[in-house]
């Protein structure tokens, strides 16, 4: 709390003068004691000045029969993955009760470097929410990646005194970390004593010990209770993730409850969640509901969504609870078990009337980031032998399996058929002409192709399909419009979501993006993509060479576990 107005706030806290606002008669979820307390909450200048029955206010809101809990916190989010502007994401998600966002802008940084980070900071400067930023640690995610920009420790220094910079973003390059590579060690040292986000799917044993030794404080990539247990034993805070493609909450929460693990080291995050999923099911409120459905008590689920995250990031002096001196970020619920929202307040103000306005000028360089050569037919050819390496996708997770299979072929070249799809990744930042090609099992798209310039984390142009003609048309269309998602079938462009801002985001408005996305996703499932696979999200992750097991980059098929390319 700032002490500029402390005298005035103290008088209201002592009851000498009415508070500016009093929430009267509701039941407060006390995240410190676990109690449900029917009492009043007094607010002045956006700060909670007191909790007690005696407070009166210049304005009073009767919340009899309602529940008051702290504003919810997303412990790790890439705002760019929603595909709308950061301000418009806040417009949608804050109405779901999420008043605080811990953001890693490494998607924007991989395309546009510091300019991308500055865009996100500028967009969220005056939104009715708390948007904090972790400095992207892996731009690019691995040294060989073909991304748009690099962002090193020297560039980070200019951000160290920014009031909304909390620490170091997710450290995906665990190889450089545990082997003390100088370029990574310099970044780790720069944020010594501050939170350092982790990204270590499947990392175990001595390598995990070395990773924690580097000061990595949390991880959001756990997909099983066993992985959670090992990391918690070493002191790592676990963000339980429930996004669009990676839905890890249920197995982790059920494991925690079955083993009686203490909950103070757990939070919720979305990581990557499309705007249509936020609209359909909610944001962090969805995590709370799902945890309750798994058997967790509502109070414990709310703790995971509030005070636990605030403590981990050193924000508990300001956020995460309903108590004197904290910001009046308050979610009002009609029902505690179903987490039915009644109203959301940020700094004591109702957020329901906030509407984001586009800020980025039409002539901004951030609107011109797709620079790639046309894809030639011969670049889609994939020679096959008796058996070939194949990426096997797995429903409800971003992890893939490494398989060998006898691929369908004609004249020694792969022909997509049945469960096998072809995928290419085209370098789209520097006109290098690089195109990687591989086979994917389990995606099962028939009769067309899907293309995307959202391809974590380097965000090259990815295309998956069952015929070369539709794949080439999809790639050409996104090259022409400057980025986005498109679905092509039978030689025709069926659906397109243009993402002109860095090839990642649209400022055309939520309704336009959401309706076209929903139609595209429904069409992809009708064309064979199984339920349990989020077609656009999964496609966007199949090029990320830091998640096991196999990935495709513009340089070819990459074995993440062996950290080497596979020769075709």
Using one digit for the tens of pLDDT, what is the confidence trace for 465-485? Answer: 999 999 999 999 999 999 999
- CB 492: neighbour CB atoms within 10 A? 10
Closest to 183 measured CA to CA, from 171, 198, 166, 167? 171
Q: What is the mean pLDDT of residues 252-269?
A: 97
201-231: pLDDT as tens digits: 999 999 999 999 999 999 999 999 999 999 9
Q: What is the mean pLDDT of residues 77-88?
A: 96
Closest to 307 measured CA to CA, from 277, 329, 286? 329
How much of the chain exceeds pLDDT 90, in percent?
A: 95
171, 137 Cβ separation under 8 angstroms: yes
Q: Is the pLDDT of residue 380 over 80?
A: yes
Q: Structure pTM?
A: 0.94
At residue 568, the pLDDT reads 73
Question: What is d(CA 540, CA 557) in angstroms, rounded to the nearest whole number?
Answer: 15
Q: What is the mean pLDDT of residues 375-395?
A: 96
At residue 505, the 3 state secondary structure works out as strand
Closest to 19 measured CA to CA, from 40, 39, 49, 54? 49
Name the band, by pLDDT with cuts 50, 70 and 90, for residue 246. confident
Cβ burial, residue 480 (10 Å; 0-12/13-18/19+): exposed
Structural domains in the chain, sorted by start: 72-309 (3.20.20.140), 365-565 (no CATH)
Closest to 424 measured CA to CA, from 477, 472, 478? 472
Question: What is d(CA 547, CA 537) in angstroms, rounded to the nearest whole number?
Answer: 14
Name the band, by pLDDT with cuts 50, 70 and 90, for residue 1. confident
User: How many CA atoms lie less than 13 Å away from 85 in the CB half-sphere?
Assistant: 23
User: How many CA atoms lie less than 13 Å away from 348 in the CB half-sphere?
Assistant: 21
164-204: pLDDT as tens digits: 999 999 999 999 999 999 999 999 999 999 999 999 999 99
Cβ burial, residue 81 (10 Å; 0-12/13-18/19+): buried
Closest to 421 measured CA to CA, from 542, 511, 537, 246? 542
At residue 245, the pLDDT reads 81
At residue 397, the pLDDT reads 87
At residue 358, the pLDDT reads 87
At residue 325, the pLDDT reads 97
Cβ burial, residue 526 (10 Å; 0-12/13-18/19+): exposed
568, 436 Cβ separation under 8 angstroms: no
266-313: pLDDT as tens digits: 999 999 998 989 999 999 999 999 999 999 999 999 999 999 999 999
Closest to 425 measured CA to CA, from 393, 395, 451? 451
User: 389 CB contacts (<8 Å, ≥6 apart)?
Assistant: 402, 403, 404, 438, 439, 550, 557, 566
- Tokens of residue 87, six digits: 């301000």
Closest to 361 measured CA to CA, from 507, 497, 510? 507
How much of the chain exceeds pLDDT 70, in percent?
A: 100
Summary mean pLDDT of the chain: 96
Count helices and strands in the chain by DSSP H and E runs = 17, 29
Rg (CA), the chain: 24
Q: Is the pLDDT of residue 514 over 90?
A: no
Question: What is d(CA 397, CA 222) in angstroms, rounded to the nearest whole number?
Answer: 10
CA distances to 2, 3, 321, 387, 520 from 50, in Å: 16, 16, 12, 69, 50
Closest to 196 measured CA to CA, from 183, 182, 185? 185
Name the band, by pLDDT with cuts 50, 70 and 90, for residue 335. very high
At residue 510, the pLDDT reads 86
User: 71 CB contacts (<8 Å, ≥6 apart)?
Assistant: 97, 98, 99, 100, 306, 319, 327, 329, 330, 331, 344, 345, 346
539, 452 Cβ separation under 8 angstroms: yes
């Amino acid at each position: 709390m700032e002490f500029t107005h402390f005298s005035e706030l103290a008088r209201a806290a002592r009851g000498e003068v009415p508070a500016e606002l009093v929430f009267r008669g509701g039941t407060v979820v006390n995240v410190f004691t676990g109690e449900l307390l029917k009492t009043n909450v007094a607010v002045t200048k956006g700060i909670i000045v007191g909790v007690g029955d005696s407070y009166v206010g210049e304005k009073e809101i009767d919340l009899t029969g309602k529940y008051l809990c702290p504003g919810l916190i997303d412990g790790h989010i890439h705002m760019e993955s929603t595909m709308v502007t950061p301000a418009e994401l806040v417009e949608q998600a804050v109405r779901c009760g999420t008043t605080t966002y811990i953001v890693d802008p490494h998607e924007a940084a991989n395309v546009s470097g510091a300019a991308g980070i500055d865009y996100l900071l500028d967009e969220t400067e005056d939104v009715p929410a708390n948007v904090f930023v972790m400095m992207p640690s892996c731009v690019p995610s691995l040294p060989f990646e073909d991304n748009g920009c690099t962002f090193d420790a020297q560039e980070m220094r200019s951000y160290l005194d920014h009031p909304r910079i909390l620490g170091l973003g997710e450290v995906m390059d665990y190889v450089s970390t545990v082997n003390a590579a100088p370029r990574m060690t310099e970044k780790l040292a720069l944020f010594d004593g501050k939170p350092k986000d982790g990204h270590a799917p499947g990392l175990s044993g001595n390598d995990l010990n070395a990773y924690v030794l580097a000061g990595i404080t949390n991880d959001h990539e756990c997909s099983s209770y066993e992985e959670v247990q090992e990391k918690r034993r070493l002191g790592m805070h676990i963000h339980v993730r429930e996004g669009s493609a990676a839905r890890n909450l249920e197995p982790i929460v059920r494991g925690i409850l079955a083993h009686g693990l203490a909950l103070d080291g757990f939070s919720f995050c979305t990581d990557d969640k499309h705007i249509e999923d936020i609209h359909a099911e909610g944001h962090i409120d969805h995590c709370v509901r799902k945890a309750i459905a798994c058997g967790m008590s509502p109070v414990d689920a709310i703790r995971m969504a509030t005070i636990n995250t605030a403590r981990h990031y050193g924000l508990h002096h300001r956020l995460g609870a309903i108590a004197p001196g904290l910001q009046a970020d308050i979610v009002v619920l009609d029902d505690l078990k179903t987490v039915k929202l009644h109203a959301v307040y940020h700094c004591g103000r109702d957020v329901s009337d906030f509407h984001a306005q586009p800020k980025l000028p039409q002539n901004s360089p951030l609107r011109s980031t797709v620079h790639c050569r046309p894809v030639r037919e011969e670049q889609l050819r994939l020679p096959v032998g008796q058996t070939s390496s194949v990426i096997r996708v797995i429903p409800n997770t971003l992890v893939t399996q490494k398989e060998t299979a006898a691929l369908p072929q004609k004249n020694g070249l792969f022909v997509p058929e049945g469960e096998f799809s072809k995928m290419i990744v085209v370098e789209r930042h520097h006109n290098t002409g690089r195109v990687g090609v591989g086979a994917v099992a389990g995606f099962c798209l028939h009769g067309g192709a899907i293309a995307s310039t959202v391809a974590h984390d380097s965000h090259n142009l990815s295309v998956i399909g069952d015929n070369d003609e539709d794949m080439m048309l999809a790639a050409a269309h996104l090259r022409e419009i400057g980025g986005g998602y498109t679905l092509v079938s039978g030689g025709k462009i069926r659906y397109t979501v243009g993402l002109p801002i860095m090839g990642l985001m649209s400022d055309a408005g939520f309704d336009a993006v959401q309706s076209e996305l929903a139609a595209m996703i429904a069409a992809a499932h009708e064309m064979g993509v199984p339920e349990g696979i989020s077609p656009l999200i999964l496609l966007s992750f199949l090029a990320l060479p830091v998640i096991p097991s196999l990935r495709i980059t513009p340089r070819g098929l990459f074995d993440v576990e062996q950290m080497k390319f596979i020769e075709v």
